[in-house]
Amino acid sequence: MPLPSFLPLLITGVTGVPGYSAFQHLHAQYPDHVTAIRPVRYWPLRGKGIIPLDIEDRQGLAALMKQKQFRSVLNGAGSCALKSCEMNSVLAYRVNVQSILNVLEMIGSRDVRLMHLSTDLVFPGKTEGLYIEEDAMAPVTMYGKTMAIAEEIIMLRYPSAAIFRISLPMGVSVNGHAGAIDWILSRFKKNNPATLYFDELRSPFYCEDFNKVIELALGNNIRGIYHLGAHRHLSLYQIGQIINKVGGYAPQLLKGCMRKEAGPMPPRAGNVTMNNQKLIQALGTDPFRKWPYLDDHVPDRNDWHYERPDHMVLHPEQIHKCLYRIPVAS
């Protein structure tokens, strides 16, 4: 079989949940044609196809492009650490804006398929309804502001790119602490409380479905901005309820509050749920399954996680079977 035209492929941001998932998925299919770069200091992440190279190393990027002749780039580089970005705007600019400038410099005048991961946090939150791609960006955090700048740079300088505003990717992280599931689990596993917001709503998705979107998008010529989130919209508190109950952890470990009760640092967006219909129409198929997949795992009240019915298997292994992955043949 001939190789797809989007190969060879470079993936940046492999230390993040979506980048790591996409690399594992695509490298398994095309092991000699998919490369990921990770920060030099991040030595625990290694293996075939993973190269230690900082996104700030412009000469290193140019040499790698000359060597590999990439036809496609999936750019997931950046930092979503809200407090760190808020406390250090220079750092936020460097990792979220300068990184894409370096990628564009690496591409130069070559005909390269560029796909970039942005965020739903370019929006401030709304009282009702779902955000569509044409809604005005008005981020409340430094992270969101720098990601919005990166979007504008790409649209201006590389209009053939596809930009995916992603919500919460539900998958395994490299370090066991990144991503929504792993951060909450890291609290519950140590018997520490986790406080999550009633009024911050997101559009979480399984990384398996994200991988399918990326593979489909690599193989076509869609361009512009698309919202990448699944069909079930949940508050951060509800996500905490699901992880707490499905994992069989002590229910009192989960605390809830409103955003205004949490203090000003970092500022939090509200309801940033997104309409995904433009992406579904562009791909010609609906790749999204609801997260969580099982309706029994969906909270319907604030004390739902205290109820532990006999018919439900509630154990940390269930998180891996049902929340990290879709519990059906995918």
Residue 314 lies inside a defined structural domain of this protein = no
Q: What CATH number should be reported for the domain holding residue 122? A: 3.40.50.720
DSSP state of 227: E
Residue 66 near residue 8 (C-beta atoms within 8 A): no
Residue 236 lies inside a defined structural domain of this protein = no
C-alpha to C-alpha distance for 141 and 269, rounded to whole angstroms: 8
What integer pLDDT is reported at residue 276 of this predicted model?
98
At 179, give phi and psi (nearest 5°).
85, 155
Helices (H) and strands (E) in the chain, counts: 11, 13
Residue 290 lies inside a defined structural domain of this protein = no
What integer pLDDT is reported at residue 45 of this predicted model?
82
Residue 30: C-alpha distances to residues 11, 38, 77, 220, 323 (Å) = 13, 19, 22, 18, 27
Residue 84 lies inside a defined structural domain of this protein = yes
Q: CA-based Rg of the chain, rounded to a whole angstrom? A: 19
Contacts 24+ apart (CB under 8 A), 82-85: 82/141, 82/143, 82/266, 82/268, 83/265, 83/266, 85/141, 85/142, 85/143, 85/146, 85/266
Residue 117 lies inside a defined structural domain of this protein = yes
Query: Residue 90: which domain range?
Result: 9-176+203-228
What integer pLDDT is reported at residue 298 of this predicted model?
98
Residue 152 lies inside a defined structural domain of this protein = yes
Task: Could you list the beta-strand ranges (E) of 198-326.
Answer: 201-202, 205-206, 224-228, 234-235, 254-257
In single-letter form, the type of residue at position 207 comes to C
Task: Return averaged pLDDT per consecutive 10 residues of the chain, 330 residues in all.
Answer: 93 95 97 96 88 96 98 93 90 95 98 97 94 97 96 98 97 82 94 96 97 96 96 98 98 95 84 98 97 97 96 94 84
Residue 138 lies inside a defined structural domain of this protein = yes
Residue 308 lies inside a defined structural domain of this protein = no
At 236, give phi and psi (nearest 5°).
-60, -35
DSSP state of 196: E
Q: How many residues does the chain have?
A: 330
What integer pLDDT is reported at residue 330 of this predicted model?
44
What is the domain count for the chain?
A: 1
Q: Are strands 194-197 and 254-257 parallel, antiparallel or unpaired?
A: parallel
**Other residues' Cβ atoms within 10 Å of the Cβ of residue 94:** 16
What integer pLDDT is reported at residue 149 of this predicted model?
98
Which residue is it, tokens 């700030």?
56
Residue 174: C-alpha distances to residues 113, 221, 326 (Å) = 26, 31, 19
Tokens of 302: 């604030």
C-alpha to C-alpha distance for 5 and 72, rounded to whole angstroms: 9
